[in-house]
Amino acid sequence: MSFDYSIIIPAYNEEAFLGPTLDSAKAAMSVSELRGEVIVVDNASTDRTAAIAEERGARVVFEPHRQISRARNTGGRSASGRFLFFLDADTTLSPELLGKALLLLESGKYYGGGAKVRFDLDDQPWSVRAFTNFWNALARRRSWGAGCFLFSLREAFEAIGGFREDIYAAEEIFFCIALKKWGRKRNLRFELIEAPPVLTSSRKIQKGRHLSLLGNYFLLGLCPFLLRFRRVCRPWYGDDA
């Protein structure tokens, strides 16, 4: 069965967050006339992640190697949609955001895009606000999309080989850089959707984790080779890195 678009959700032990994410995706998809599918990539979970996905009608594929980029690629290669959406398992997808992204891709003028990021935390410390503003400004300037919500043409994903599997973090940055080169040759553009922003879990920034994330992104300029080691990328993988 073929689809117009595929929503790919990499997930490792996400039983606490995956249900609401899938519910939001289903609600967003219901207002579009295009046919879509949801693929959850079970990245060697030890909890009910796969069961929750199946209970909510998602197609589950398995990726045994614990690596975010590999999980994204496994989902992308399993997808049948001509448009690909990569959504984190703790992120809310609104009908307005999905609708705007689909219109961009359908126009034939864009190779992909992302969205301005907002965390689901009402009372944000100044450091979190500064981090969020910094990222959103940098993303717009560089034509980057946050990994929690990123979309592209399937043709572009296949042409650049998907996400780099020799690194354990910041794979969405390298993905966007490669997409930009591909799109420029075809006179296609990237769009960072300003409104509505994508709403993602505040767990990404709890206990100063946003500062660790920022530090890891600086490795891109200082020593990107370090991103090849999962232990260096602990903010993305937790204590089992």
Give the pLDDT of residue 216: 55
Strand order in the sheet with 149-153: 59-62, 36-42, 5-11, 83-87, 149-153, 110-119, 189-200, 91-92
Give the pLDDT of residue 239: 54
In angstroms, the CA 193 to CA 197 distance is 7
**DSSP letter string, 14-39:** -TTTHHHHHHHHHHHHTT-SS-EEEE
Give the pLDDT of residue 123: 75
pLDDT in tens, the chain (241 residues): 789 999 999 999 999 999 999 999 999 999 999 999 999 999 999 999 999 999 999 999 999 999 999 999 999 999 999 999 999 999 999 999 999 999 999 999 999 999 999 998 777 777 778 888 988 999 999 999 999 999 999 999 999 999 999 988 889 999 999 999 999 999 999 999 999 999 999 886 665 554 555 555 555 555 666 777 677 666 666 655 5
Residue 149 near residue 119, CB atoms below 8 Å: no
Give the pLDDT of residue 215: 57
Neighbours of 56 (CB within 10 A): 16
Residue 139 CB contacts under 8 Å (≥ 6 apart), including other chains: 114, 116, 117, 145, 146, 192
Give the pLDDT of residue 112: 98
- Coil vs helix vs strand at 212: helix
pTM for the structure as a whole: 0.91
Give the pLDDT of residue 219: 56
Token digits of residue 101 = 């992204």
Q: Rg for the chain (alpha carbons), in Å?
A: 17
Neighbours of 36 (CB within 10 A): 20
Give CA separation, 233 vs 49, 90, 180, 223, 240, in Å.
Answer: 23, 19, 25, 13, 11
Write the burial class of residue 185 (CB in 10 Å: 0-12 exposed, 13-18 middle, 19+ buried).
exposed
- Coil vs helix vs strand at 195: strand
